[in-house]
Chain A
Amino acid sequence: MTLVLDGLTKRFGPITALDGVSFSVERGQVFGFLGANGAGKTTTMRIVLDILRPDGGTVTWNGIPATDVPRRTWGYLPEERGLYPRLEVLEQLVFFASLYAIPRREAAARAREWLARFRIPDYERRRAEELSKGNQQKVQLIAAILHEPEVVIMDEPFVGLDPVNVSLLKEAFEEMRQRGTTLVFSTHQMEMVEELCEAVAIIDRGKLVLGGPIRDVKRASGRQIVRLGVEGNAELPWLGDLEGVTVVRPGRDFVELDVARGHDPQEVLGAAIARGERVTQFLIADPSIEQIFIERVGRAPSEEHHLAEAP
């Protein structure tokens, strides 16, 4: 039971939005889909959902072409949230569910249950336009999962949510995962990926940069991150003399070092002791997804969120 994307290519006029993107998502997995703005995430999702047709390549679910899979297999939370502004919340949810063959009465019951679980039970008679952004987003998510799809595809589900709602959403993720639902979502927020995902795919300018289970991705990067803390001043200028060692994050209490492939992190510890430093922290860890992203894509996923450097 796998979602397989194989060699997806999509062009819009002169622009190649996707260039041979291939990866797979195991059933029941929570899968992170990473890339900067304009990398091709939304286009990929739209192709999986048959909203767009690819110029080349295939999408299959359990070996069946996605175009032949019943639409109720999928639930979709698009990046551009959209509800009928003047329609009441319950009516919208029942309408969306009716497109997936859920009887109206059952859809209404499920919708009320989810509204209660998302702590907005009193909003069923409100028009969508009267709701706050965060609450609209909850309604939108309910619309995507009301028909209990096998795969839920979400484009930036955490954007625009306050911390309380982020944790509600995470709980909902966990619950769906336990039910065996496959979750695919795109995000800029790397801490969410670390926390929630079992596997990832990173795309850049329409091409897959890397993909697979998080542990494998981290191991395959060949990088080792060492956290070193010593008593007193943490500025350790001698670290620059060590071969294959780069300071990635200087700090007061500790520094984070990147130890290149072929070098043993223990050499750093040895060097510190040899110089008479009193070591308070020494930790060998895998690189973070963000570090891997920067290494492979050349910039941070959230780079667009910061001002460009002044000329």
Chain B
Amino acid sequence: MRPSPADTLRNIGAVARREFVWRGRTRTFRLTTALLVLVGIGLALAPVIIRFIDRGSAGDRIEVFVGDSQPGVDVPLALGLLLNAPIPGLPANGAGASAYRVEVAATIEAGRADVIDGSAAALLAVDRAPAGDLAFTLYSKDGILSRNNLIIQQAVSSIAIQDRLQRAGLSPGDQAALFAPPAFVLEPADPNAATNGPTSGEAYVSSFAIGFALSILLFMAIILYAQWVAFSVAEEKNSRVMEVVLAAATPFQLLSGKVVGVGGLALVQYLIVLVPSAIALVLQDRIAALIFGGPAMVGLPQGLSLALLAVFGVMFVLGFTLYAVLYAGAASLVSRQEDVNQIVAPLTLLSVGGYMVASYAGTGLIPIDSPLVIVLSFIPFFSPYLMLTRLSQGAASPVDALVSILLLVIFIPIALWVAARLYRSGVLLYGQRPTPRTLLRALRGG
């Protein structure tokens, strides 16, 4: 059959419309969309929500017993400052709320009793060793590796050094000069290169987080929505409506219509979920300011640019199309919906592989500029994940992205041809296990 382009477009449209309208009307679709919107907004506002829940608590209370150790430093004050100091590279603990409160304990026994009944997180007892150094004992319910205990341990070493310097006769002013960090600036060798990495700790952390989040989103979207297509094919085969439709439309039209219809609906669901989540993310500071008071900044999180979002959108559409088309071809070979997961497993593995390499590259387990990552970022099955990760880390140029997208665009019609071939012979196979030979025969011409 050589249908005219108008016939082909009309039939693709009719099939897509049925998929879109029918699936969009189901209760399952509406419920999952509503649920996903809530989850998306919840995730975007997670920091605000956590702060809101925590707002009543004044942070951990640490008691200090100095006894007669006569430290050269005001230990409770110094400990409080050290524990609540911002950690470089991470956002400061907002709105001036102290995570730790440091108080003086009357006796060791009283302090220990407070730790036991839970009103204090730990008791730090200060003593002086015979050699003259300060000695510390921490009374706590937690083990040596608990976060509180590790931070307190770091803080007391700093206090002990200050005490030694004090005893050596160094004034507090000199000490401040001694410990002042030197001037240190990182500059890219070529400021015009597109592949410069982030130059600040905060930018690094957020580019890593954004790349990671985007590749998870992409992976989930591709697998979830491609599976919709596969199940839709198996459903038509199962209800035997396939033969009626095939008498009216070619396998190519049916397959394309399905991918367009389900893909369109997927995109709609994605936007319904993404737009409120993105708005919540952008307005996070303003919402926090409304609830907790204080200044508000409005803008995209650092590292998330419109260009990156655009590439994400393109990679989502192309990656989904590629996988959905092949999922549909594969699903046409089985007769029952239970068998769908099994037959698409090799494709799912490819997708998982791409995603894993991307997340390893994103977290630095595999260097972002390793040949494996660079090569895979151009191979259609993996490129959606890897090019996105490379871009979010600033490790790929726009030309790289363009080439990668172009290769995907070229590869999709090939995948469509393969899938339509499989489909033509697969849809009429009932109760037979597809073997490599049947697959080959199907590809040779059904």
Smallest CB gap from A71: residue in B: B248
Report the separation of the CA atoms of residues A46 and B247 in the bound assembly, to the nearest whole angstrom.
8
Smallest CB gap from B430: residue in A: A80
Contact yes or no, B247 A49, CB < 8 A: yes
Interface residue from A72, A74, A82 paired with B240 (Cβ < 8 Å): A82
A98 and B243 in contact (CB under 8 A), knowing A52-B428, A71-B248, A87-B22?
Answer: no
Contact yes or no, B247 A82, CB < 8 A: no
Kindly supply a per-residue 1/0 record for chain B positions 354-367, scoring 1 wherever the CB is within 8 Å of any chain A CB and 0 otherwise. Answer: 00000000000000
Report chain A residues within 8 Å CB of B15: 99
Report the separation of the CA atoms of residues A237 and B38 in the bound assembly, to the nearest whole angstrom.
91
Contact yes or no, A68 B446, CB < 8 A: no
A68 and B14 in contact (CB under 8 A), knowing A51-B428, A53-B446?
Answer: no
Smallest CB gap from B11: residue in A: A99
Contact yes or no, A99 B248, CB < 8 A: yes
Judge if B433 is at the interface, Cβ distance under 8 Å.
Answer: no
Judge if B74 is at the interface, Cβ distance under 8 Å.
Answer: no
Report the separation of the CA atoms of residues A51 and B15 in the bound assembly, to the nearest whole angstrom.
17
Report chain A residues within 8 Å CB of B428: 46, 51-52
Contact yes or no, A101 B18, CB < 8 A: no
Smallest CB gap from A140: residue in B: B244
Contact yes or no, B248 A84, CB < 8 A: no
Interface residue from A67, A76, A96 paired with B2 (Cβ < 8 Å): A67
Interface residue from A51, A68, A81 paired with B247 (Cβ < 8 Å): A51
Report the separation of the CA atoms of residues A52 and B14 in the bound assembly, to the nearest whole angstrom.
23
Report chain B residues within 8 Å CB of A46: 243, 428
Smallest CB gap from B429: residue in A: A12
Judge if B246 is at the interface, Cβ distance under 8 Å.
Answer: yes
Report chain B residues within 8 Å CB of A96: 244-245, 248
Judge if B142 is at the interface, Cβ distance under 8 Å.
Answer: no
Taking CB atoms and an 8 Å cut-off, the chain B residues in 405-446 that contact chain A are 428, 441, 445-446
**Closest CB in chain A relative to B76 CB, distance in Å:** 70
Kindly supply a per-residue 1/0 record for chain A positions 135-171, scoring 1 wherever the CB is within 8 Å of any chain B CB and 0 otherwise. Answer: 0000010011000000000000000000000000000
Judge if A23 is at the interface, Cβ distance under 8 Å.
Answer: no
**Closest CB in chain B relative to A112 CB, distance in Å:** 19
Judge if B374 is at the interface, Cβ distance under 8 Å.
Answer: no
Contact yes or no, B2 A52, CB < 8 A: no
Judge if B1 is at the interface, Cβ distance under 8 Å.
Answer: yes
Contact yes or no, A80 B243, CB < 8 A: yes
Contact yes or no, B18 A95, CB < 8 A: yes
Contact yes or no, A98 B239, CB < 8 A: no
Report the separation of the CA atoms of residues A53 and B244 in the bound assembly, to the nearest whole angstrom.
16
Judge if B280 is at the interface, Cβ distance under 8 Å.
Answer: no
Report chain B residues within 8 Å CB of A49: 246-247
Report the separation of the CA atoms of residues A59 and B4 in the bound assembly, to the nearest whole angstrom.
20
Kindly supply a per-residue 1/0 record for chain A positions 21-61, scoring 1 wherever the CB is within 8 Å of any chain B CB and 0 otherwise. Answer: 00000000000000000000000001001111100000000
A50 and B1 in contact (CB under 8 A), knowing A95-B14, A99-B249?
Answer: yes
Judge if B242 is at the interface, Cβ distance under 8 Å.
Answer: yes
Kindly supply a per-residue 1/0 record for chain A positions 209-233, scoring 1 wherever the CB is within 8 Å of any chain B CB and 0 otherwise. Answer: 0000000000000000000000000
Report chain A residues within 8 Å CB of B236: 82, 84
Report the separation of the CA atoms of residues A95 and B257 in the bound assembly, to the nearest whole angstrom.
13
Report the separation of the CA atoms of residues A129 and B11 in the bound assembly, to the nearest whole angstrom.
25
Contact yes or no, A98 B247, CB < 8 A: no
Report the separation of the CA atoms of residues A82 and B243 in the bound assembly, to the nearest whole angstrom.
8
Report the separation of the CA atoms of residues A252 and B15 in the bound assembly, to the nearest whole angstrom.
61
Judge if B129 is at the interface, Cβ distance under 8 Å.
Answer: no
Taking CB atoms and an 8 Å cut-off, the chain A residues in 80-112 that contact chain B are 80-87, 91, 95-96, 98-101
Report chain B residues within 8 Å CB of A70: 3, 7
Smallest CB gap from B425: residue in A: A52
Judge if B10 is at the interface, Cβ distance under 8 Å.
Answer: yes
Smallest CB gap from B441: residue in A: A13
Contact yes or no, B247 A74, CB < 8 A: yes
Judge if A78 is at the interface, Cβ distance under 8 Å.
Answer: yes
Report the separation of the CA atoms of residues A84 and B17 in the bound assembly, to the nearest whole angstrom.
14
**Closest CB in chain B relative to A311 CB, distance in Å:** 29
Judge if B241 is at the interface, Cβ distance under 8 Å.
Answer: yes
Report chain B residues within 8 Å CB of A95: 14, 18
Smallest CB gap from A80: residue in B: B240
Report chain A residues within 8 Å CB of B242: 82
Interface residue from A67, A87, A98 paired with B14 (Cβ < 8 Å): A98
Report the separation of the CA atoms of residues A71 and B8 in the bound assembly, to the nearest whole angstrom.
11
Report the separation of the CA atoms of residues A72 and B247 in the bound assembly, to the nearest whole angstrom.
9
Report the separation of the CA atoms of residues A87 and B239 in the bound assembly, to the nearest whole angstrom.
12
A78 and B22 in contact (CB under 8 A), knowing A52-B446, A67-B2, A101-B10?
Answer: no
Report the separation of the CA atoms of residues A53 and B246 in the bound assembly, to the nearest whole angstrom.
13
Contact yes or no, A84 B239, CB < 8 A: yes
Contact yes or no, A53 B14, CB < 8 A: no
Report the separation of the CA atoms of residues A53 and B421 in the bound assembly, to the nearest whole angstrom.
12
Contact yes or no, A81 B240, CB < 8 A: yes
Report the separation of the CA atoms of residues A103 and B35 in the bound assembly, to the nearest whole angstrom.
37
A71 and B243 in contact (CB under 8 A), knowing A52-B446, A53-B446, A99-B14?
Answer: no
**Closest CB in chain A relative to B266 CB, distance in Å:** 20
Report the separation of the CA atoms of residues A74 and B1 in the bound assembly, to the nearest whole angstrom.
13
Report chain A residues within 8 Å CB of B22: 84, 86-87, 91
Smallest CB gap from B15: residue in A: A99
**Closest CB in chain B relative to A3 CB, distance in Å:** 15
Contact yes or no, A53 B445, CB < 8 A: yes
Report chain B residues within 8 Å CB of A78: 240, 243-244, 247
Kindly supply a per-residue 1/0 record for chain A positions 109-143, scoring 1 wherever the CB is within 8 Å of any chain B CB and 0 otherwise. Answer: 00000000000000000000000000000001001
A143 and B244 in contact (CB under 8 A), knowing A53-B446, A101-B7?
Answer: yes
Report the separation of the CA atoms of residues A282 and B445 in the bound assembly, to the nearest whole angstrom.
59
24 A-B interface contacts by CB (under 8 A): A46-B243, A46-B428, A49-B247, A50-B1, A51-B243, A68-B1, A68-B2, A70-B3, A71-B3, A71-B248, A76-B244, A78-B247, A82-B236, A82-B240, A83-B244, A84-B239, A87-B22, A95-B18, A98-B17, A99-B11, A99-B249, A101-B10, A140-B244, A144-B244
Give A contacts to B, CB under 8 Å: 13, 46, 49-53, 67-68, 70-72, 74, 76, 78, 80-87, 91, 95-96, 98-101, 140, 143-144
**12 more A-B residue pairs beyond the given contacts A67-B2, A95-B18, with a C-beta to C-beta distance below 8 A:** A49-B246, A52-B446, A70-B7, A71-B1, A71-B249, A84-B22, A95-B14, A96-B245, A98-B17, A99-B248, A143-B244, A144-B244
Give B contacts to A, CB under 8 Å: 1-3, 7, 10-11, 14-15, 17-18, 22, 236, 239-249, 428, 441, 445-446
